Structure 1
């Protein structure tokens, strides 16, 4: 029998949490943070996770010492514990998981960690939030760099950096928080009403989790609900503008577009290699404010300039000065495996964009270089590749394919780029990954000519061969460095 706490729908940090019996679903990083926060508030906390690995046991041991009921291993999530008033789910849990279905059937509210954090936040601290299929982490880190350059105490949190619930409970506090949100996190968000929000781009992704493109887009669109100041959209992506038009925002909130072209009034964009603002200046009808030069953005690939513009729009919505946008971009250093130059060998550039884990991200990367020897493949996650190949076929010198779903890319290449040479690295299941990647780099080098780029932009997830995209990128970079050493 489940419990019932009538004030939960309006709960905040000052609520009588000792009255609550909460279940935290999942003991990953965000689940641990949620359990710790609820415990500190005085709630009775149970944590459940089917996984029983070293990381879960270590976190579970710590929580158990704090009187949290930790249940790990097979069967631990099969049923909703009796007396549960609230479930806080980790973002990767699917809505059809038995425990979450049981909660819904019993009328027990299910929140994500972001929803919990929103309720526990200091209302005086604005949230600048962003999402998108690609570019989220780069953009939120750019945004945080701009905020720091403005002298503001800030943190990049959410789907990057620290869990957002830990950030909002930090005793030192923040002037403003930069928050990256995934579609999984947004699915479980209900009451968040950010100061400003941005959607960078939309392309089919994670359809195995959401079930359809429509459901995926609907979850992304939640980010604009209740926005108080600015809804930032991509002028080149009609889906993001449609989300703004359909959003139920706070009265007075504005739509602000970003574009790689000359901006209209109410937008940010580019004029003669200068990033400019025609949205947050009083004289926007007749002029624009200079924010930075394109040369201040690193790397300068077009999609990364778009990321910088989106970050600038969010920063400007919070009152950040023009100079802080420029200084933040100059101070920003991209995370590894995002269009990262590895080496130049015999006039051929080798670039690691292992983070390009879907066709949309791979297209943005491929369109930044010409000619290209493309290294692609992995787990497709339900994605299709015909549109991608059609976009980039004229740039391709050749293609080297790896991974479980490489045949799907090969079929698209055969249909839409039949003249492009393709090398399929098949029959490598029992081969060490470093040896495989050395063969991949050798094959790509054999296709490339001086002036070309060998680009790892897999358009697929990595877990068929590697622990994650970072491991894949490291293997590629290591193989390139060995080739340079042996040249």
Structure 2
């Protein structure tokens, strides 16, 4: 790493860059990372006429080919130390992909050198006026974060908004980079932005002309996660709290999670913004909640002190496999955001009639011989797994993987004793098995010591089937990341479902063969 420092940037120029239509030409920008987010940043800046240098440890052939086409340069190599090429480039701003933690060498260099550091969200806010909405104004933004439930709530909110007649798009951490949504020539009335704690950490670095001001925002819940990236739980919590900063209309929080209330109380919001609570209890005059199995809104109506508006019923949600408690909570949060933008209760009911959860989120993959098999591979941390186990108490629990520095003992102590049995997978099995020995010693525990991706779920399903009886649920809720044995939570869930179906189909085939066999003499 060189000791040389870059040319000191001119902050006054950056303060003027708050529109697509101002002069970005020649601005020297270093872009960290070249996955979908990094490419969207480079593509946007190149279109604006900036001088773009992209730095990445590895680049796909497609992106390597496209960068010179759009007019950006690529530096590929180790980033454990700061490349001399970056220092010589003397960037006026660094835009980092969310995978780069605060401790990363290049991130630390930028902060220590006084080079402004943005994420893709701040850049997108600055150029949000590229394609105006039908009103002629930029799209409204809605922010959604939380340890769990972000993607489901983002999809729910967008679905409700569209049903209410608004052009809305889910984007951000959900998979569609926000800069792609901002530049979509179709234009939108509302962007529903899912935000990871990583994106929110970058958002918290700057509080000036480029700082977003969402219409409404929610933090769904808070629990231990991504502690290695952030360095501590306090840093993780503080990053999440940035979701409420400069909110203009509704700060939606979880009444069952006190941390989210404190975030709202401490937030620097625009005068007039309201706190709107949600949970599964009876709602107060500025809340959404449940009354006798009916989801109701007591926040967005004139007579909220004496009346409530019906949104839907738990019975109606159950008919569409949407009645798990944590899903109902997500629905209430999404409804609060949609109501803050004027969507009527009838549109919310209609949206829920055709909404389906994404795969690998408490997805029933089979019901056979009295056993229900449920794939909740998306439960990648203990908080998410606890919600799944609350929805299916007494399940045969398939658990384990990469724990990401999180202690699983509290979850096992809370939910483990009620489990029918536990089938433990993953490279950190010892921690899980030890937690059961301490906190749920009466529960049968089976280990899958097969490290082969192709067969680990076959063995897990085999062990689960051996203990599951009529009326039981086998629940894949790993409470851990998947990259030890799989390419992602979706791969893990798909392999679980395939193993279940193969076992069922194999059993049916054996039955057919037995029926066709001649009787013995």
Q: Shorter-chain-normalised TM-score: which range?
A: over 0.9
Which whole-Å CA distance do the structure 2 matches of 1:76 and 1:365 have between them?
A: 39
The alpha carbon displacement at 1:77 in A equals 6.8
Does structure 1 residue 127 correspond to structure 2 residue 141?
yes
The alpha carbon displacement at 1:314 in A equals 0.4
Secondary structure of the structure 2 residue equivalent to 1:61: helix
For residues 24-79 of structure 1, the C-alpha deviation after alignment (integer angstroms, 9 at most, x for no partner) is 10001000000000011111111010114xxx231121111222111123359723
Aligned partners of 2:417 and 2:443 also within 8 Å:
no
Residue of structure 2 aligned with 1:61, choices 48, 61, 65: 65
Match in the other structure for 2:190: 176
Residue of structure 1 aligned with 2:373, choices 350, 370, 377: 350
Aligned partners of 2:79 and 2:105 also within 8 Å:
no
Residue of structure 2 aligned with 1:471, choices 491, 495, 499: 491
Does structure 1 residue 46 correspond to structure 2 residue 50?
no
Residue of structure 2 aligned with 1:481, choices 495, 501, 519: 501
Classify 1:197/1:350 alpha carbon distance in 2 versus 1 (closer, same or farther; 3 Å). Answer: same
Aligned partners of 1:266 and 1:279 also within 8 Å:
yes
TM-score (norm 1): 0.96
Match in the other structure for 1:31: 38
Aligned partners of 2:399 and 2:476 also within 8 Å:
yes
Aligned partners of 2:225 and 2:404 also within 8 Å:
yes
Aligned partners of 1:296 and 1:329 also within 8 Å:
no
Match in the other structure for 2:133: none
Aligned partners of 2:82 and 2:109 also within 8 Å:
no
Which whole-Å CA distance do the structure 1 matches of 2:62 and 2:269 have between them?
A: 42
Q: Which runs of 4+ in 1 moved over 4 A?
A: none
Classify 1:198/1:59 alpha carbon distance in 2 versus 1 (closer, same or farther; 3 Å). Answer: same
Q: What is the number of residues matched between the two proteins?
A: 481
Aligned partners of 1:400 and 1:444 also within 8 Å:
yes
RMSD, aligned α-carbons:
1.4
Match in the other structure for 1:319: 342
Residue of structure 1 aligned with 2:15, choices 6, 9, 12: 9
Aligned partners of 1:296 and 1:326 also within 8 Å:
no
Residue of structure 2 aligned with 1:140, choices 154, 171, 174: 154
Match in the other structure for 1:381: 404
Which whole-Å CA distance do the structure 1 matches of 2:227 and 2:68 have between them?
A: 36
The structure with the largest alpha-carbon Rg is: 2
TM-score (norm 2): 0.90
- Gapped runs of 5+ residues in structure 2? 1-5, 130-136, 508-521
Which whole-Å CA distance do the structure 2 matches of 1:310 and 1:7 have between them?
A: 39
The alpha carbon displacement at 1:390 in A equals 1.9
Classify 1:237/1:76 alpha carbon distance in 2 versus 1 (closer, same or farther; 3 Å). Answer: closer
Match in the other structure for 1:156: 170
Which whole-Å CA distance do the structure 1 matches of 2:417 and 2:16 have between them?
A: 56
- Gapped runs of 5+ residues in structure 1? none
Which whole-Å CA distance do the structure 2 matches of 1:151 and 1:266 have between them?
A: 25
Does structure 1 residue 447 correspond to structure 2 residue 474?
no
Residue of structure 1 aligned with 2:289, choices 248, 253, 269: 269
Residue of structure 2 aligned with 1:412, choices 435, 449, 452: 435
The alpha carbon displacement at 1:393 in A equals 2.8
Match in the other structure for 2:519: none
The alpha carbon displacement at 1:299 in A equals 2.4
